[in-house]
Amino acid sequence: MAEVIKLEHPVVVEDKTITEISIRRVKTGDVIATKDAGDETDITFALAERITGLKTNELAELDIADYSKVYKRLSDFLAPLMA
């Protein structure tokens, strides 16, 4: 089941207003598919795209306060890999 993150600062990208983001749990396939995406930042954005359904240009428009919520959830999902 997807979790919904309500944006503090909605954004408009290509005439589409984004007020909330649905974020699903990371699957093993997501990690495998993004392992060669580049450095840690590239991999993080690739994973964020996969679990939110947003494109890089949409993620790039998010206020850092809102992106940090996505990043926090992504980090929480990946924590077992780092243990």
Report yes or no on whether pTM surpasses 0.75: yes
Beta partners for 5? Answer: 21
Could you list the pLDDT tens digit for every one of the 83 residues in the chain? 789 999 999 999 999 999 999 999 999 999 899 988 888 888 889 999 999 999 999 999 999 999 999 999 999 988 887 76
State how many domains the chain has: 1
Residue 70: per-residue pLDDT: 94
The range of the structural domain enclosing residue 27 comes to 3-82
Residue 83: per-residue pLDDT: 64
Query: Pick from 27, 58, 25, 37: which is nearest to 46 by CA?
Result: 37
